[in-house]
């Protein structure tokens, strides 16, 4: 029977003969290794330090997607369309992604260092502590010699020292980096509020307001929305914030400015409420909103045509210009100033609410946009429909057009041959003072501060009452007012009620007599009327 003690395992299957006794030469080696151990540990810690620092730097670069060995974090893509509280834009780097990247950088950097440590430790272990049987040195029968253990320990000590040193330095530098990022973040946050404040101040200084011209909306626009010029995605609020300070990046990657003063007016603007187009370069120049109201056939549209044509002529005379600000106005103006239209009078305004007629005026006192909101007289015949005219909130000058023939007190003043044979019963049902009262009531319901609004009472069709005007000696606003509000027995129209209502409710009340009939040109009363309105808005031609 063969005992297990006498059996010899096959070579190369894990068998290791017992270590031979340590000889004198080995004692010398052990002694030398022990003496130089601390020096060698310090010396070798330098290359380890360089290796660690290098591994960490490469890790930082890789984590940030720099170089060939990329291991960058993939940021979360923005939603396709803006949801409430979310925009289809990339979050500005400093307002979120930077901290995720910092965390990623630290993770990747430490992982690289750990990989290096682990790899190096394996090599040290194989070289110094666990020499395999395939080594050529059989003096210790496949085991590491004691002095090699000491040398290996020195390596590990060097590695540990370098790791601790690098760790401390990186801890400090990461803290410094975090502070630097926090400072830049705080500065960016300040820049956000500063830029928004400056833009708001600029808009206030230039009295720039934006009004949506879309019927049914007519809203006052706090700030326009914009569509990305590349993929036409609507960005509701582009102002500086978490999606960008100076520029924002659409989900498609296209960058565009965040503020009007930074050039966002170059993009097509949209109303944030109804998402319909606003005027081209909305918010760049001051808008003067002129709501026009009055009963049917009061001559509102005729007055608008006369104003548009005359203001163009006046500005061109002064080497300025007055051009339609949008396609809608362009088409209307082309048609309105056509020979046929001028001779026959403009077509009747549609009973439904319409877009305003917008003109860009450029003169010696700068550039403005005049927006004239013309509503059909029928709208003013129904009090509830007056409430649809939200644009009235934006107007600082209201034009109240009155056809003198709709004033009952006016007809008796006329010679019998000039009196209307059969007054329109529909018109006679309502009188101008009722329209004014309803507009005022509507403005109160909308909490509009009427004391900041001027009212121009425009008595139209002056050509039909030329004789009465001459007899009454009317020429300026005060004399028109006296005639308009004066008693019948003194030749007045007895509209004191209307005047008192206007005077009580509005900041200022002006009176104008206009003749908007085209006779080879428009009457000089239109020029005076335009000058008065624009002067009231601080614009001189």
Partner 1 sequence: MEVYRKWRIGLFVTWIASSIGTLATVLILLILHVT
Enumerate binding residues for partner 1 (CB under 8 A). Answer: 53, 57, 60-61, 64-66, 72, 75, 90, 93-94, 97-98, 101-102, 105, 169-170, 172-173, 176-177, 180-181, 249, 253
Listed residue (227, 233, 197) closest to 77, CA to CA: 233
CB of 110 to partner 1, least distance (A): 14
SS3 state at 210: strand
- Cα–chain-centroid distance for residue 305? 35
CB of 41 to partner 1, least distance (A): 19
Q: What is the CA radius of gyration of the chain?
A: 43
**Nearer residue to partner 1 within complex by CB, 240 or 432:** 240
CB of 47 to partner 1, least distance (A): 16
**Nearer residue to partner 1 within complex by CB, 197 or 253:** 253
CB of 249 to partner 1, least distance (A): 5
**Nearer residue to partner 1 within complex by CB, 61 or 221:** 61
Which structure tokens are listed for 126? Answer: 């194989």
**Nearer residue to partner 1 within complex by CB, 78 or 82:** 78
Which structure tokens are listed for 205? Answer: 């200084």
Q: State the Cα–Cα distance between residues 152 and 41, nearest whole angstrom.
A: 10
CB of 26 to partner 1, least distance (A): 39
Residues in the chain: 541
Contact residues for 87 (Cβ-Cβ < 8 A; gap 6+): 78, 235, 236, 237, 243, 248
Residue 537 has phi, psi (to 5 degrees) of -95, 5
Listed residue (486, 328, 494, 521) closest to 409, CA to CA: 494
Q: State the Cα–Cα distance between residues 84 and 76, nearest whole angstrom.
A: 18
What single DSSP character describes residue 419? S
CB of 105 to partner 1, least distance (A): 7
**Nearer residue to partner 1 within complex by CB, 61 or 433:** 61
Q: Are the beta carbons of 371 and 511 closer than 8 angstroms?
A: no
Cross-strand bridge partners of residue 211: 220
**Nearer residue to partner 1 within complex by CB, 169 or 262:** 169
**Nearer residue to partner 1 within complex by CB, 111 or 441:** 111
Q: State the Cα–Cα distance between residues 341 and 336, nearest whole angstrom.
A: 6
Residue 384 has phi, psi (to 5 degrees) of -70, -25
CB of 179 to partner 1, least distance (A): 9
CB of 116 to partner 1, least distance (A): 17
User: Residue 30, class by beta-carbon neighbours within 10 Å (0-12 exposed, 13-18 middle, 19+ buried)?
Assistant: middle
Listed residue (30, 8, 537) closest to 285, CA to CA: 537
Which structure tokens are listed for 35? Answer: 């003496």
**Nearer residue to partner 1 within complex by CB, 72 or 161:** 72
**Nearer residue to partner 1 within complex by CB, 143 or 248:** 248
CB of 180 to partner 1, least distance (A): 6
Which structure tokens are listed for 429? Answer: 């049902």
């Amino acid at each position: 029977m063969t005992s297990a003690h006498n059996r010899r395992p096959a070579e190369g299957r894990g068998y290791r003969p017992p270590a031979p006794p340590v000889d004198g030469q080995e004692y010398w080696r052990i002694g030398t290794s022990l003496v130089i151990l601390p020096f060698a540990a310090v010396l070798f810690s330098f290359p380890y330090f360089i290796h660690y620092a290098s591994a960490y730097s490469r890790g930082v670069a890789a984590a940030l997607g720099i170089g060939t060995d990329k291991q960058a974090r993939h940021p979360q893509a923005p939603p396709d369309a803006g949801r409430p509280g979310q925009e289809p834009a990339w979050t500005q780097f400093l307002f979120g992604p930077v901290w995720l990247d910092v965390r990623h950088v630290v993770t990747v950097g430490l992982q690289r260092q750990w990989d290096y440590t682990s790899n190096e430790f394996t090599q040290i272990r194989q070289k110094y502590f666990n020499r395999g049987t395939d080594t050529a040195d059989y003096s210790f029968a496949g085991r590491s010699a004691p002095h090699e253990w000491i040398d290996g320990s020195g390596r590990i000590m060097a590695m540990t020292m370098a790791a601790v040193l690098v760790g401390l330095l990186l801890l400090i530098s990461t803290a410094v980096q975090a502070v630097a990022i926090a400072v830049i973040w705080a500065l960016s946050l300040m820049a956000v509020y500063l830029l928004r404040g400056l833009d708001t101040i600029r808009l206030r200084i230039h009295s720039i307001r934006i009004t949506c011209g879309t019927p049914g909306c007519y809203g006052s626009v706090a700030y326009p929305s914009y569509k990305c010029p590349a993929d036409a995605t609507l960005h509701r609020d582009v102002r500086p914030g978490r999606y960008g300070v100076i520029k924002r990046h659409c989900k498609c990657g296209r960058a565009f400015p965040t503020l009007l003063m930074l050039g966002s007016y170059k993009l097509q603007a949209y109303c944030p409420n109804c998402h319909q187009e606003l005027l081209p370069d909305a918010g760049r120049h001051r808008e003067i909103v002129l709501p026009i109201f009055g009963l049917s056939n009061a001559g509102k549209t005729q007055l608008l045509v006369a104003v548009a044509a005359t203001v163009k002529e006046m500005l061109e005379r002064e080497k300025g210009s007055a051009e339609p600000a949008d396609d809608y106005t362009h088409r209307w103006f082309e048609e309105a100033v056509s020979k046929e239209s001028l001779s026959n009078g403009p077509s009747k305004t549609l009973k439904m609410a319409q877009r305003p007629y917008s003109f860009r005026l450029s003169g010696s006192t700068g550039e403005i946009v005049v927006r004239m909101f013309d509503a059909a007289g029928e709208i003013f015949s129904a009090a509830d429909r007056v409430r649809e005219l939200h644009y009235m909130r934006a107007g600082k000058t209201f034009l109240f057009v009155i056809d003198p023939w709709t004033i009952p007190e006016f007809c008796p003043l006329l010679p019998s041959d000039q009196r209307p044979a059969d007054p329109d019963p529909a018109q006679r049902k309502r009188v101008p003072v009722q329209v004014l009262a309803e507009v005022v009531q509507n403005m109160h319901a909308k909490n509009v501060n009427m004391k900041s609004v001027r009212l121009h009472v425009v008595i139209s069709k002056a050509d039909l009452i030329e004789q009465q005007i001459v007899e009454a000696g009317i020429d300026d606003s005060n004399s028109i007012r006296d005639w308009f509000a004066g008693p019948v027995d003194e030749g007045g129209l007895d509209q004191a009620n209307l005047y008192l209502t206007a005077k009580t409710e509005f900041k200022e009340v002006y009176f104008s007599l206009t003749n908007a009939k085209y006779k080879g040109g428009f009457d000089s009363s239109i020029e005076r009327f335009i000058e008065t309105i624009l002067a009231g808005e601080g614009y001189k031609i």
